[in-house]
């Protein structure tokens, strides 16, 4: 493949010499001491100079492509991690909320029990007072009856 290209380039440059005197290259013949500024003056076509470079370029391109893939994967992993992290944070917040609500309910029950106990105690005291009143009234009545009877 390279041989065919080099022959065609050589033929093209010969045709250029014969047909056109002006070169499409930016530099002129004067700079090279009267020599031709064409590719042939270099001894071989420009393509042959680059024939050794593409393997290095492809290796570098492969490295770049691999690095880009790694970056994309890392980016995706980071997004996934952030999503999982947000989900876990929300779950943790929800669990904490539920735990606090449960604790509040337990405290309310305890307060209710305390209130009920206080209410029972109050009721018992009121009952004792009313019993004492009733007993006191009964005693007074008994004493009154005894006084009347005597």
Q: What is the pLDDT of residues 80-127, one digit of tens each?
A: 999 999 999 999 999 999 999 999 999 988 888 888 888 889 899 999
Find the domain containing 37 and state its range: 1-51
pLDDT tens sequence across 33-70: 555 454 445 555 565 555 555 678 888 999 999 999 99
Q: Which two tokens stand for residue 91?
A: 């779950």
Do the domain assignments include residue 131? Answer: no
Q: d(Cα 150, Cα 41) in Å, to the nearest integer?
A: 161
Do the domain assignments include residue 34? Answer: yes
Do the domain assignments include residue 47? Answer: yes
Q: Which two tokens stand for residue 103?
A: 């604790």
Do the domain assignments include residue 20? Answer: yes
Do the domain assignments include residue 31? Answer: yes
Q: d(Cα 62, Cα 42) in Å, to the nearest integer?
A: 32
Q: d(Cα 146, Cα 132) in Å, to the nearest integer?
A: 20
The pTM score is 0.35
Do the domain assignments include residue 136? Answer: no
Number of structural domains the chain divides into? 1
In DSSP notation, 73-93 reads HHHHHHHHHHHHHHHHHHHHH
């Amino acid at each position: 493949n390279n041989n065919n290209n080099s022959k065609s380039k050589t033929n093209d440059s010969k045709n250029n010499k014969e047909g056109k005197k002006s070169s499409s290259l930016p530099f002129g013949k004067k700079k090279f001491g009267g020599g031709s500024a064409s590719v042939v003056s270099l001894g071989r076509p420009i393509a042959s100079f680059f024939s050794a470079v593409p393997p290095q370029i492809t290796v570098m391109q492969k490295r770049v492509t691999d690095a880009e893939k790694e970056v994309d994967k890392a980016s995706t992993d980071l997004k996934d991690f952030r999503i999982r992290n947000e989900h876990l944070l929300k779950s943790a917040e929800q669990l904490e909320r539920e735990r606090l609500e449960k604790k509040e309910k337990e405290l309310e029950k305890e307060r209710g029990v305390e209130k009920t106990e206080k209410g029972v105690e109050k009721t018992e005291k009121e009952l004792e007072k009313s019993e004492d009143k009733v007993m006191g009234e009964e005693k007074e009545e008994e004493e009154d009856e005894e006084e009347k009877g005597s």
